[in-house]
Structure 1
Amino acid sequence: MTRRIVCWLTDDPVSAIAAKLAISENEPLGMPLVVVTVGSRVTPWLASSIHYIGVPVVCCPDAQTWRYKQPGDVHVIGVPVDEQGRFDRLQEQWKGAPLLSNLADQALTRADCLELWSRSNHPRCRGFMRRSALQWRFGT
């Protein structure tokens, strides 16, 4: 069984930072990486995230996410250190699936992630920084 790193990309810049970090850490080790976004179409937000992380992304409908949860996978979920309660809830929901908290492991907060995102050299990414950290966190 080949162990994979599966990065879950959402409409939150924190997930893009987590995916980019996982790629930079694991690509030199030759770990197979899969970046998955849930949804059947690429929105402008996802297009900018895909551009930022720089690797192909698999778009899958909600009903097919089971295809990307194979035994032995390590799942990267973008949860910063200041949202550890959310990570704990995700661990409960994904029982048995190893989740990687690479942002928390590096003590990155949501504000740190938004700063990294805003300093991106990708102009498509900078256009999405109109929301505050609180708005991103609660999806408003």
Structure 2
Amino acid sequence: MPIAFVSVAIQRATEDLPLPSLYKCPVSPDKETPAPLVTILTLGVSPSYQCQGIVRALVRLVTSRLCSSSAHSSPPNVFPRSIPAATVIVAQVATSNTAGQEFYHRLGLQTEQELRGVYKTLGSGQKDAYLIVGQITV
């Protein structure tokens, strides 16, 4: 039975997809190619396994694997050959999810801004979220 899950997207910051203003994107040693941007799409752990470091380890593992695989399997000039030891992480967390916000803050990420009406709900119509941004060492 699964106890935790994560889904992420990896991409490069571009003019069409700029990084949030709070954080400047690290660049590769060639000083021209931005490091990858990892967006956490979903993240969770079974209640009986919470507060044991499983999700923290999972985030670090997935980030590390994504970054190392992007350096070897991407088309030329998409990702740098040498990924920095720290990678930019972005996540959206519902404003009502204080446990999620605290988790990301413990990882060293910061709340950049509030996003209105991000989540659509059946009952109340919409929920707001915070954009959380930072760097995680892999």
TM-score by length of 2: 0.30
Normalized per residue, the structure richer in strand is 2
Normalized per residue, the structure richer in helix is 1
Bigger Rg, structure 1 or 2: 2
